[in-house]
Amino acid sequence: MNVQMIQKGTIWGVGLGPGDPDLMSVRADRLLRNASHVAYFRKAGRSGQARRILDGMLRPDVTEIAMEYPVTTEIPLSDPRYNALLSAFYEDSAAHLRSLSDAGQEVVVVSEGDPFFYGSFMHLYTRLKDDCPVHVVPAITGMSAAWTATGLPITWGDDVLTVLMGTLPHDALVAQMAASDALVIMKIGRNIEKVREALRAAGRYDAAWLIEHAAMPDQSVQKLSEAGDRVTPYFSIIVVHGNGRRP
């Protein structure tokens, strides 16, 4: 008896760019408008930023797969439960996508920004790449939109650019801030006061810009020193421009 083998479906990791649908790549737009299965990450109880970007783009008969994080900022990163919960979540999500691929279904998994730049898709990619055909579509990063929003180039000549996470310890932030020409600081949120103190200690505070919701309708751009003491959104970005060699 001949048994027809089902060809595995491709899993696409697609970057949505910084938030404005007009900044999405042509390939990403084409894949999404034709997709029968679209998966995205979100916090439980919320629609999610990635899903908002997709409004009006998807087929009426699309199957949406909402992958809801079991934890975001509720417990510290240092708590062993944090990694344990997220690891189980990524394993379950990957298993679901693998089953669709095994059944011959293509799935588009979307990521804000670029899938390979601090994105959650990376954790699915490492779990799926040896079992399924997986292709990644790169995109404009959120930090590109942030420094563009300031109206100033981020690097000149031989400037060294360092990307830092606000979740790093204070001393590590200070050391990196002092050693680099240009800075991008991400994952701020509740870490904002620690980031402010580190910038002051490194002598970079007065040159820092705060960009909230870059490339989105509610974008806000201001000097960090003028932003007051409020807590900023988690996905805000702080930039310090380089001032290197130029003709």
- CATH homologous superfamily of 11-140: Tetrapyrrole methylase, N-terminal domain (3.40.1010.10)
Q: What is the pLDDT of residue 4?
A: 62
Q: Is 187 in contact with 234 (CB distance < 8 Å)?
A: yes
CA–CA dist 54, 69 (Å, integer): 19
Structure-token match 């002051």, residue found: 200
- Is it true that domain 143-240 has CATH number 3.60.15.10? no
In degrees rounded to 5, what are phi and psi of residue 146? -70, -50
Terminal CA-CA length for the chain: 74
Q: What is the pLDDT of residue 245?
A: 93
Q: Is 176 in contact with 204 (CB distance < 8 Å)?
A: no
Q: What is the pLDDT of residue 75?
A: 79
Q: Is 104 in contact with 7 (CB distance < 8 Å)?
A: yes
CA–CA dist 44, 98 (Å, integer): 23
Taking each helix axis as running N to C, give the angle between helix 121-128 and helix 80-102, from 0 to 180 degrees, rounded to the nearest 10: 60
247 residues of the chain, pLDDT tens digit each: 454 678 999 999 999 999 999 999 999 999 999 999 999 999 988 889 999 999 999 999 999 999 999 988 777 777 889 899 999 999 999 999 999 999 999 999 999 999 999 989 999 999 999 999 999 999 999 999 999 999 999 999 999 999 999 999 999 999 999 999 999 999 998 899 999 999 999 999 999 999 999 999 899 999 999 998 887 887 799 999 999 999 9
Instruction: Look up residue 118 and give its two tokens.
Output: 């601090």
Q: What is the pLDDT of residue 16?
A: 97
Domain extents for the chain? 11-140, 143-240
Amino acid letter for position 133 = P
Structure-token match 């999405």, residue found: 24
CA–CA dist 30, 222 (Å, integer): 35
pTM of the shown model: 0.91
| Residue of 161, 167, 124 lying closest to 146 (CA atoms) | 161
Instruction: Look up residue 13 and give its two tokens.
Output: 């990791």
Instruction: Look up residue 42 and give its two tokens.
Output: 């979100």
pLDDT digits (tens, 9 = 90+) for 6-30: 899 999 999 999 999 999 999 999 9
Full DSSP string of 159-221 = PPEEEEETTS-HHHHHHHHHH-SEEEEE--GGGHHHHHHHHHHTT-GGGEEEEESTTSTT-EE
pLDDT digits (tens, 9 = 90+) for 202-245: 999 999 999 999 999 899 999 999 998 887 887 799 999 999 99
CA–CA dist 93, 187 (Å, integer): 23
